[in-house]
Amino acid sequence: MTLRPLRPAERPRPLGEALLQILPGVIIEGLLLGCVYAMIALGYSMVYGVLGLINFAHSEVFMIGAIAGAEVFRYGQPAAPNTFVLLAAAILVGGSVAGLVAVGIERLAYRPLRRRTSNRLVPLITAIGVSFFLQDLVRLIEGLWHNEFYLNYPSCTPIEHPVKLPLGTEVQVKAIIVIAVAMLMMIGLTLLVKRTRMGKAIRAVAHDAQTASLMGVNPDQVISRTFLLGGFLGGVAGVLFGIMFTQVNPFVGFVPGLKAFTAAVLGGIGSIPGAMVGGLVLGMIETVGGTYLPLFTNGAVGSEYTDILAFAVLVLLLLVRPQGLMGKASSDRA
């Protein structure tokens, strides 16, 4: 999304050398974006796993996390002893608020439908409605609270100090933080799903809800917890997104949400490692494409086409391999 423009002075040099020189920076940016996509994609994928529903409102869960994090910075900055403590608080609050909102959405909007209809379009359309409703609800709340709905994350603080990496690349501290937090969360989630009783219950419901309920698993409870987990990850992704791009608003969720869904499909929807891999791959494709397309076409095709690139990946993938990179082939999946 944010790309370093190549300065005109670098043009006369051999193209290959210029390309190589910016490569490490591009890879780190791709990794950053990929981490955020991966964390959002996990929410889509887990919910799809247990409910078979594309939770369109998940992009708003992400947005609410980002906004809640910004509020923590707004109120905490004068009082907090240290930016890093504040950052940790923002991540925790953003994740928790988003997780609770996700649980609330499931309880109020999706659960009544589950009892009543088996039609597949109805929950999907409901999810879109919830998504629209939340965008304006947050705008209304922020508007009444602060009389504006564009919120800023702090910049020029210790988290933006540059750090030298081995290959001569400079990155900001916050890039390292984002990648580290994302990695930790994803490892944590994997352990949770693989090793704990709760994780086993989630996997059982995803595999076959009816049989799981016969074995004494309460599917409603498991679904609630899945939303909580997915929402927490999405909210943390929102805070990380805010730290990277510094400005957030109630409509900030739409595009990353769509991209993250693409990532979830890319990896194989329903698969947790798939969502992570899909997110990282999509982040890389986007950043590399966005940087090198203008270079190779001499500026004719600019970085504004990265969004189209992501959708093209989605469409092609669904046509060629609808089960995704890591998904299982299944006749009714697509």
Partner 1 sequence: MNERRNSAILLAAGVLSAALLMLHPHGTLSLLPVLAVMAACLTAKASRWVQGVVLAGILVVAVPMAGIQNSFLFELGTQIGIYAALALGLNIVVGMAGLLDLGYAGFFGLGAYTWAIFGSPQANELLAGNHFPLAGWPYFYLFVVLAVMVAALTGVLIGLPALRLRGDYLAVVTLGLGQVVRLLANNLDHPLNITNGPQGISPIERPPIGWLTHGLDTLGIHVPPVLGYSIFFYFLVLAIAGAVVLISTRLDRSRFGRAWVAIREDEMAAQSVGISVIKAKVLAFATGAAFSGAMGAVFAAKQLFVSPDSFTFLQSITILVMVLLGGMGSIRGAILGAAAVTLLNIEILKNLSDSLNSLRQSGFVLDLGFLRYDFASIPSQLEPAKYERMIFGLIIVLMMIFRPSGLIPEQRHRLELEGKE
Binding site for partner 1 (CB under 8 A): 53-54, 109, 112-113, 116-117, 119-126, 128-137, 139-140, 143-144, 147, 254, 258, 261-262, 265, 300, 302, 304-305, 307-308, 311, 314-315, 318-319, 322, 332-334
CB of 147 to partner 1, least distance (A): 7
Specify the residue, 74 or 333, whose C-beta has the smaller distance to partner 1.
Answer: 333
Q: Are strands 170-172 and 247-248 parallel, antiparallel or unpaired?
A: unpaired
Residue 94 burial by CB count (10 A; 0-12/13-18/19+): exposed, middle or buried?
Answer: buried
Specify the residue, 128 or 191, whose C-beta has the smaller distance to partner 1.
Answer: 128
CB of 237 to partner 1, least distance (A): 19
CB of 5 to partner 1, least distance (A): 16
Helix (H) or strand (E) holding 289: helix 272-296
- CA R_g for the chain: 20
SS3 239: helix
**Of the candidates 153, 149, 150, which has an alpha carbon nearest to the alpha carbon of residue 244?**
153
CB of 70 to partner 1, least distance (A): 18
CB of 136 to partner 1, least distance (A): 3
The end-to-end CA distance of the chain, in Å, is: 30
Specify the residue, 130 or 202, whose C-beta has the smaller distance to partner 1.
Answer: 130
Cβ partners under 8 Å of residue 169, min gap 6: 24, 25, 28
**Of the candidates 201, 192, 231, which has an alpha carbon nearest to the alpha carbon of residue 106?**
231
CB of 279 to partner 1, least distance (A): 16
Specify the residue, 60 or 199, whose C-beta has the smaller distance to partner 1.
Answer: 60
Q: How far apart are CA 250 and CA 253, in angstroms?
A: 7
Specify the residue, 128 or 184, whose C-beta has the smaller distance to partner 1.
Answer: 128
CA distances from 111 to 61, 205, 333 (A): 17, 15, 23
Instruction: Tell me the β-bridge partners of 22.
Output: none
Specify the residue, 218 or 330, whose C-beta has the smaller distance to partner 1.
Answer: 330
CB of 40 to partner 1, least distance (A): 14
Specify the residue, 84 or 251, whose C-beta has the smaller distance to partner 1.
Answer: 251
300 backbone dihedrals φ, ψ, rounded to 5°: -70, -45
Q: Where are the beta strands (DSSP E) in the chain?
A: 151-152, 162-164, 170-172, 247-248
CB-based contact 111:83 (threshold 8 Å): no
Specify the residue, 36 or 134, whose C-beta has the smaller distance to partner 1.
Answer: 134
